[in-house]
Amino acid sequence: MSSVKVITLGCSKNRVDSEHLMRQLQAASFEIIPEEDGRPADILVLNTCAFIQDAKEESIAAIFDAVDRKNRGESSRVYVFGCLSQRYGNELRGLIPEVDGFFGASDKDLALMTEALGGQYDPALAQQRYLTTPGHYAYLKISEGCDRKCAYCAIPGIRGRHVSVPMDELVEEARLLAAKGVCELIVIAQDTTYYGLDLYEKRMIALLLHRLSEIPGIRWIRLHYSYPNAFPDDLLDEMASNPKICKYLDIPLQHCSTKVLGKMRRNITGKETSDLIRKIRERVPGIVLRTTLIVGHPGEGKREFAELLDFVREMRFERMGAFAYSEEDGTYGAENYKDSVSRKEKLRRLDELMSLQRGISASCNAARMGTRTTVVADAVADGYFVCRSMNESPEVDGEIYVEIPEDEKEAAVSGRIGKFFEVEILRAGDYDLYGKII
């Protein structure tokens, strides 16, 4: 039996693609060695990212590392798939001939790669996955591709047009996950709020979430990658009324300046953006908002950056990520704008923005001291259960560290991982919280 290790770079959507591939390989009698396992594998497979320059560099470094392992005899074959090879496959073949095969990012590529590795692709397993997350939560990718034309983004050129997965197929995939013990679904796509327009001629994300919430065993559902333009009002109604839908929304805004948003081709103004955030908070009381912002995009001068800082101060997002603009081949921005902000200035702005957000995050966390909340335990580390509440999404947000009681330390791993329980928040850091079981 050959062993295979799949190394996933980039976003959670890539993780889902890797999990589909691993299920096919598992069914073909390959031994799956987890990515974090130090054991070598006969075959190394890398799922790559090409969203921004840093991601491309990380992916290329990982490929060279895999080739080094092959040259040392630790592995016999190396394969690469995903966004980087979809976009630069021909160049990579010439640059790194030691790689045994480059594949793209489509379902067809998954089938071709399964067969290249020596397996037989089975369409009957298309909705099944080999989970790489802890068994109690999983990502559910509801569509592929994107119809947006954001100036900075290469994804539509890599992943193609938006294609929604039929709702019944998603519900069945979620049922299979629930049957395996998954109780939290994290709904993802390039643009989750666009879901259904291509299949049903209207946005259907609210109905999809409602149907997912009806699945026995599913306790929490959270939504990532929503888009602010033409945001569906019925989604807010579903979030406000359905106790299984987390009062949590990831909504990448990218900027607040009408000038910069216009340059970005986001089809929304600064005022419309602010009004939307206020409406969301009004319609879904207590909601936790996560956003992503870009600094240094063409059109962002000192005035626009100051406007962005004021916006963040006013909106007080509980969670926020940010990155510096990088010019990407084939995008509207690369072909039509001058990347006029220096790398040094971009990084300075990024640091200033994230320093501001650190203080906001600390303030939001401090307000939770003395409160009680339901958490789920993801792991055990250094005498603590590493937990999350409805307010925290895995991998991107802070965590709640809950001290393990003395009488549970021997059985801590088997006793509470994946279980829900009540805690009291005792202490707050900038991003993490600390509490005790009650």
Cα separations in angstroms, 311 against 231, 357, 377, 391, 425: 20, 11, 34, 22, 29
Can you give the pLDDT at residue 419? 95
Q: What is the pLDDT of residue 414?
A: 62
* 3-state class (DSSP) for residue 157: helix
β-sheet bridge partners, residue 144: 163
The CA distance from 121 to 354, in Å, is: 45
Over the chain (438 residues), the average pLDDT of each successive run of 10 is 92 93 94 92 94 88 94 94 90 91 89 92 92 95 95 91 97 96 97 97 98 98 97 98 98 98 98 98 98 98 99 98 94 96 98 98 98 96 94 97 85 78 98 97
Checking phi first, is residue 10 left (phi over 0); if not, alpha (psi -120 to 50) or beta?
left
Question: How would you list the strands of the sheet with 31-32, edge to edge?
Answer: 31-32, 3-8, 43-48, 77-82, 101-102
pLDDT value of position 186: 98
End-to-end CA distance of the chain: 48
Q: Which of 4, 91, 21 is nearest to 56 (CA)?
A: 91
Q: Which domains does the chain have, with CATH numbers?
A: 3-125 (3.40.50.12160), 137-366 (3.80.30.20), 372-437 (2.40.50.140)
209-to-177, 282, 287, 391, 416 alpha-carbon distances in Å: 15, 20, 17, 18, 27
For β-strands 372-381 and 319-324, DSSP reports them as: unpaired
Q: What pTM was estimated for this model as a whole?
A: 0.92
